[in-house]
Structures are given as C-alpha cells and as structure tokens.
Amino acid sequence: MCEHSPGERKLLLGVGALLALLFLAQPAWRGLARATEIQTYAIAAAEFEAKLAAQTARYKVGDEEGVPVVRPPPGDVYVAAGRWRFLPVLELQPHQSYRFHVASEDSLHGVVIGGKEALLVPGRAAIMPVTTAEPGKVSMVCSEYCGLEHNKMRHWVTVIAAP
Ligand SMILES: [Cu+2]
C-alpha cells in the first residue's frame, strides 16, 4: 500500500468530496442546460411558407435584388433558410424584442444570430429570441455545412433608427 502524508490525505479527501458533490449536483446543471436550449416545433413546409407570405404581404417595404424587404413589428418574425440564402431582408426597430422563427426550406442548415445557435432540421422551426440594440447591422449566418455555397449564407438584419 502506498503511504500518504496527512496533507496529501486531506487533499485526496477534498477532491473526492468535490467530485461527489459535482456528481450529485448533475441534475441541476442539466436543468440549466435545458433551460437555455433553443426551442423548436414541428411545422409543415407549406404552413411555414404561408406564415412567410403573410408577413411579406403585411410588412413589405421594398425589394432588394428580388428579395422582399420587410419591417415587422416587435414579436414574431419568420425567416426561411435555403440553399444558399436567408429570406427575407429584415429591418427591425432598436431596443425591441423579437422572436425569430427560423426554418429550413430544403436540407439541413444552421443559424447563428445574436450569439445563439440552432440546427435547422427540415420540418421543424427554431425559435430564436433576438433583442435589438442601437441601429446597425446584426449578422445571421449558417453554421452547418450545407453544400457548395454554404459560405454565401451570410445575412444582415438591419436595425433602423426609430421613426
Ligand atoms: Cu450552410
């Protein structure tokens, strides 16, 4: 048997107690991790498309290279990810809270906005809470390799000065 000095024994006991505590506290961390996870919900492609169309019809303010520019009020905002772009172009108000509903139109994509990331699985939409700050641009990128032009999936959400 190996011999430990009293100091070493104390250290070992301390480490053991810490490990036991971390192990016992595990369910609490898991709860925390779950609470910060991005929520997703099942939605058929046609239904999501209808939400996008309704948003465009109501809040469209222009066009940018054939892509509608929309200015939805704070609250729910619908964004589609597809090869290889995000739709529509968004103009939001500063210091407001939005709930982005992001869904893929084709294959697997990812989305990173405001430091949050979600995997976009076809048939499901991810809810991304976004709180805008001062006027400027917020980037939105695809975080999942989705094919040849994946690196083109860089989008800007513009926060406009309050009218
Ligand atoms: Cu991608």
Give the Å distance between the CA of 85 and the centre of ligand 1. Answer: 9
Give the Å distance between the CA of 33 and the centre of ligand 1. Answer: 25
Give the Å distance between the CA of 62 and the centre of ligand 1. Answer: 26
Q: Where does the pLDDT of residue 24 fall: very low under 50, low under 70, confident under 90, or very high at 90 and above?
A: confident
Give the Å distance between the CA of 17 and the centre of ligand 1. Answer: 45
Could you give the percent of the chain with pLDDT greater than 70?
A: 90
Give the Å distance between the CA of 133 and the centre of ligand 1. Answer: 26
Give the Å distance between the CA of 146 and the centre of ligand 1. Answer: 4
Topology given in CATH for the domain delimited by 39-159: Immunoglobulin-like (2.60.40)
For residue 151, what pLDDT is reported?
95
| pTM (2 d.p.) | 0.78
Rounded to 5°, the CA angle 16-9-28 comes to: 15
Segment 54-68 mean pLDDT? 95
Judged against a pLDDT cut of 80, whether residue 144 lies above it is answered with yes
Give the Å distance between the CA of 22 and the centre of ligand 1. Answer: 37
The answer to whether 31 and 23 are in contact (CB under 8 A) is no
Structural domain boundaries in the chain? 6-36, 39-159
How, if at all, do strands 67-70 and 60-64 pair? antiparallel
With residue 60 as reference, give the H or E element that holds it.
Answer: strand 60-64
**Rg of the chain (C-alpha set):** 23
Give the Å distance between the CA of 118 and the centre of ligand 1. Answer: 12
Q: How far is CA 19 from CA 9, 26, 36, 86, 150, in A?
A: 15, 11, 25, 45, 43
For residue 33, what pLDDT is reported?
47
